[in-house]
Structure formats: structure tokens, C-alpha cells
Structure 1
Amino acid sequence: MHNDKKQGVLLVNLGTPDEPTSPAIKRFLSQFLHDHRVVDMSRWLWCPLLHGVILPIRAPKVAKLYQTVWMDEGSPLMVYSQRQASKLQDALNVPVELSMTYGNPSLLSGVEKLMAQGVEDIIVLPLYPQYSGTTTAAVFDGLSKAFKALNSIPGIRLIRDYHDHPLYIKALAGSVRRSWEKNGRGDYLLCSYHGIPKRLADNGDIYPQHCEQTTRLLQQELGLDDSQIGMAYQSRFGREEWLKPYTDKTLEALPNKGVKNIDIMAPAFSVDCLETLEEISEQCQELFEEKGGQKFTYIPCLNDDPAHIEMMQSLVRREFL
């Protein structure tokens, strides 16, 4: 049966401040940290803490960090995501728009742009390979909210995850092999995933299983044994326990175990951003070297690599009617 409804694609990433300044970062973090999916504390406790303590202290610090990674065209996350959208549109020859769950361009603006081009069926691709309620489900919530502003809503299909997609694993393995050719091969490959509070996983979030599966498949694809590859979780925030092992603690311990030359990558991030360019490339490298590590090679995210675009194309084509 042929479907003659016009189809389009909405690529969604988390979001980024509009500029590397305290006010822009306050605006962005306020929207991000108000989402119940991200912080599920009771609002009367959380809001005074967020606006009275966290934002005034964090915004200026985060602004300084953003200034170190900001590109001529803007925030790395935005620049790479825009390149992905434009290359995917060329590859698929259907309308593709980019939206962010928080900040600009908003989910509503992406949907409206697609509908203005006559799109009636939207395939939504959240750029999170591994599912988590804090990311993918937040996209779904955000879309439901955006649709409240529309009298007519499009058909919609959400690609929930692609943590084990063969082309995703191949693209990751390709990036590792390229790094090995260029920089030499480390003693150990550490896959660093964005953490979530352990409590969320205990309550049924399947994110850690997805991260473990990605690591296992990458290990098979690269032909590594258990002593040559491992995984850890980064970017924890606040005092509660997050998924372990922690990336920083892992890096501090490795030199004592004889691992002086390390390769590190961030498979949960589809584009390079503050958490990879500053937290991993700079902070983590310092930690590793302070504890006796000698060589630290950060393997960039897949960004707009052709193999990454090919994988997105394959994911989206599967959903075409």
C-alpha cells in the first residue's frame, strides 16, 4: 500500500545555551533543571535551591567553561547537530529539521517548520543511542507539550534508541580504528557514558543495560578482550549515588594498575559538547596524568562523520511508510 502523506524528520538533541554568558546559561539551565524527568525533587524544595543557590553559583562557572570550547559558528553541540541535519536532509531528500529539548530551536519550532513544508508524518530521531527517561522520554514529553499549541497535529513516530544498531557499532569502531592509526593504540579503551542517578535505574530506567550492550558489541567489533576495554559514567551532579563506576575515579585508579596509555570515547553523545570537549578532554586528562598516566587520547564523537549519517539514514528509512 502506498502512503502519499509527505514525511519529514525531526532530529532532537538536548540543547545548549545561545551564547557562552552567565545570563544565557541561567536561562538554559533553568529550563533544563525544571524538567521533572531531569530532577524529580518536590518543587517547593527544589525551586528555591535552584534559583537561590545553584544557578547563581553554577552559571558564571559554566559560562567560563563554555568559552573554552565555543566555536566560531557557535556552541559545538549546535554546530555539529546542524551539520548532521543538513547532511541527513541531502541523503534522504526529505525535509529534516533540528530541535532541542531545552533552549533553541524549540521542539515546537521544529514541528511547525516541518508542517509549513507540508509534512504530515514526522519521524522523530532523538540523538541518544541509549534510552533513558531523562533524555528520550523528555523528548516525548516535550513534543506532547508542543502539540498543545497546535490545532492540527502530525502523525508521529519516535525512534526510541539505537544502542545496538549494527551501523552505529560500526561507526564507533571506525572512529576508534582511525584514532589508533593516527595516534597509536592505547593499553585500554574506556567508554565513558553520561551518568544518571542510580535510583532511576533501580526504578526501571533501562539506560545502564543499553550502555553495557553498546560496550559489549563494540568490544566484539574491535576484537578486544576484557582487559583492553571498560566503561564508566561521567557528569554526576549533586550528592546522591549515580551509576558506577565513575569515570573520574576510574581514571585515577588506572595508572596504579599499570595502564599508562589510555584511549577514551563517549558513545552516549552523538556530538561533541561541553561534557566531552571540556570535562573529558581537559579535566579527565588532568586527573589521569596527576595519578601517573602518560598518554591520554580522546576519540571524538561521531558528529557529522559519513558513517554516522549513513546510520541515521538507515534508522529513518526503516520508519518510512
Structure 2
Amino acid sequence: MRAAQLPGDHPIIPPPKIGVLLVNLGSPEAPTRDAVKAYLREFLSDRRVVELPPLLWQIILRGFVLNTRPATTAHAYRQIWTEAGSPLAAITAEQARGLSFGDTVIVDWAMRYGKPAIADRVKALKDAGCQRILIAPLYPQYSGATTATVNDRVFDVLKQMRWQPALRTLPPWHDDPAYIEALKVSVERQIAALSFVPDTIVASFHSMPVSTLEDGDPYHCQCQKTARLLGNALRRDLVVSFQSKLGRAKWLEPSTEETLARLGREGVKSVAVVTPGFAADNLETLEEIAIRGRETFVEAGGSDFAALECLNASTESMELMHLIIGRELEGWLPHS
């Protein structure tokens, strides 16, 4: 029989929770023109992503980009789409499921553009009792167009809350020894499984406008440092390149497409491409590198080509994420 609650008694209040929100770039909801158009509209309207004068860019975006690019991009997505949906979203969800920091921590995930939206997941964590939340943008190298825009969106969400949770943000880990070791193990394991030994290893990073470097963004320097440290760990010289250029402005070079074509023309017969700027495989790795990159290299005279997987939810990836996220949770987690 349930005891009657006496005046002055208070119901048992569960202990506060701690939230961890993994955030990656985003994907359309489906590999269709309309879904891609909605995704690109949100993505390319971010002032952090495109830093042209807003009025000028909106004319270009709405008058040209959104009328031409969605069909091509939707075709590319259809080549990599899975039963679980977008590879990027599916892998990010798997990474979140694979992380555990005890009963007091709730690990969730979101996309900066598209769904699940940051606003929805931050609110869900708050409603679940999380009074402290660690935001983990899944970008090893920092850039205003990636890490900063995730944090911006989170701060915008908190502006709408009367009772805000305490907040921490995960710093970049481009030169963390544990990250370099995880990359080394992953690259060596995948190369050992190939039917050939690559003459050259290309480290391809997402490109950025040169103006971001000139304005003080550390992204380019952090990419170069990651490549140098990984090359040292592998005891091989890596060829660094940059992919996914958008628009006519000058972007970081050399481009990956031009690099693969040059290597093929110069007589290099076998190449492996690693993409250390991505925590999970996505359109840029699975279609741009694995499909179009292969075609470029072979047409230029190459023969053997391998697009190495990102760390994804591999054992080395989950150990790395547990380490770098656990480090940022120190002082919040209860003592065992």
C-alpha cells in the first residue's frame, strides 16, 4: 500500500544528467532534387559558409545555384544512399550509440543542416534532465565554416531558454597523439587489406576559400599539421590536396582532382587516398573521391586506386572519441 504524502514532503528528484551532443555537417532527407534543394538552401545561406555580401549571394543562390546544383547533387547522393539513409547520418548515429560514459550521461547526435536539428536535440537533452551539455562538433580541424557555425547555432538555441544548461564545446583535435595514432592504425589496416601496395598516399581535405586563411582561420595550418604528423607516423611522405571547391573564388590548392590527374600523367600507377578532415564517410568521400576520384586517376593513366574509409565507428574511432570527449567531461562526471 502506497504511503500518503505528508505536508512538506517532496517527491524524489532524480539526479541531474549530463548531455553530450555529437554534431556533423548534415544531409538531405532523401536523394531527391527537392530534398537536396531544401538542404542546400539552409547550408548555403549560412553566413559562416559563404562570406559574400548577403544580398549579392542570395541573388546568386536563388537565381542560379538552387536552380542548377540540386539535380546534380541528388544524382551523386543516389549513388551512395543506403537502406539506413545518408551514410553521414547513419554513421554519426552509430558513433553516438557506441559511446557510453555511465548512467548519468546521455549521448545524442544532430546535424548542423537538416535533421535531426540542433535545436530539437538540445531541447530534448534539456527535457531529459541534462543541466550540463558538451557540444562535440565532429571536425578534427577547426574552421569558422564548420566548428564555429555549430557553436553559433547552439548559442542561438540557448538564447531562447530561460533556464539554460551549462555548456562546454569540444576543441579541435587535429594534432592530438591519440588521433594521429587512430589514423595510423586505420590507414595501415586498410592498406594491408588491399591487393596492391600504393605508390603514393594522398591526404585530401575539404577545401576552403583562400580568403579564410588570409582572415586568420587556422584550418589550413591545422590540415597541414595533421598530414605532417600522420606522414611521420606512417613513415611516408603524404601528398596533401584539397577537394570540393564551390564557386569561382580562389580556394586552397592543390585541388585533389588536379593532383590525381597529375599523378596519373606522371606515371604513378597506384594511389590510396585518406581523408583525415572527416570523422565519417559522406558524399565528399564516397562519391567525390571513391567514384569520381578513381575515374580521374585511371583516365590519366593510373591503374590501382583505393579510397580509404574514414575512422567512422571503428574500434580505433570509438576509443579516440571516448578519450577526447571524456577528457572534456572531467569535473562533471561523478567520482567513481
Partner of 2:226: 214
Partner of 1:166: 177
Residue 91 of structure 1 and its aligned partner are, at CA, apart by 5.5
Partner of 2:321: 312
What's the TM-score once normalised by structure 2's chain length?
0.91
Residue 256 of structure 1 and its aligned partner are, at CA, apart by 3.1
Equivalent pair of 1:92/1:313 in contact (CA under 8 Å) = no
Partner of 1:251: 260
Written as runs of structure 1 = structure 2, the 5 A alignment for 1:1-321 is 6-88=17-99, 90=100, 93=103, 94-183=105-194, 184-224=196-236, 226=237, 229-320=238-329, 321=331
Residue 53 of structure 1 and its aligned partner are, at CA, apart by 1.0
Deviations, residues 263-294 of structure 1 (Å, cap 9, x unaligned): 10111111111111000001111111111011
Question: Aligned partners of 1:185 and 1:119: how far apart in 2?
Answer: 49
What's the TM-score once normalised by structure 1's chain length?
0.95
Q: Secondary structure at the match of 1:272?
A: coil
Residue 157 of structure 1 and its aligned partner are, at CA, apart by 0.8
Structure 2 alignment gaps of length 5 or more:
1-14, 332-336
Matched length = 314
> Considering only CA atoms, is the larger Rg found in Structure 1 or Structure 2?
2
Structure 1 runs of 4+ aligned residues shifted over 3 Å read 90-93
Q: Secondary structure at the match of 1:135?
A: helix
Equivalent pair of 1:186/1:263 in contact (CA under 8 Å) = yes
Structure 1 alignment gaps of length 5 or more:
none
Q: Secondary structure at the match of 2:133?
A: strand
Equivalent pair of 1:85/1:96 in contact (CA under 8 Å) = yes
Letter aligned with residue 156 of structure 1: L
Question: Aligned partners of 2:23 and 2:102: how far apart in 1?
Answer: 17
Identity of counterpart residues, as a percentage?
39
Equivalent pair of 1:234/1:247 in contact (CA under 8 Å) = yes
Question: Aligned partners of 1:92 and 1:103: how far apart in 2?
Answer: 29
Residue 92 of structure 1 and its aligned partner are, at CA, apart by 5.0
Letter aligned with residue 310 of structure 1: E
Question: Aligned partners of 1:238 and 1:109: how far apart in 2?
Answer: 32
Q: Secondary structure at the match of 1:14?
A: strand
Letter aligned with residue 203 of structure 2: C
Deviations, residues 26-85 of structure 1 (Å, cap 9, x unaligned): 111101111100011112211121112111111111111111100001000000000000
Letter aligned with residue 46 of structure 1: W
Q: 1:186 to 1:170 in 2, by over 3 A?
A: same
Q: 1:156 to 1:199 in 2, by over 3 A?
A: same
Q: Secondary structure at the match of 1:150?
A: coil
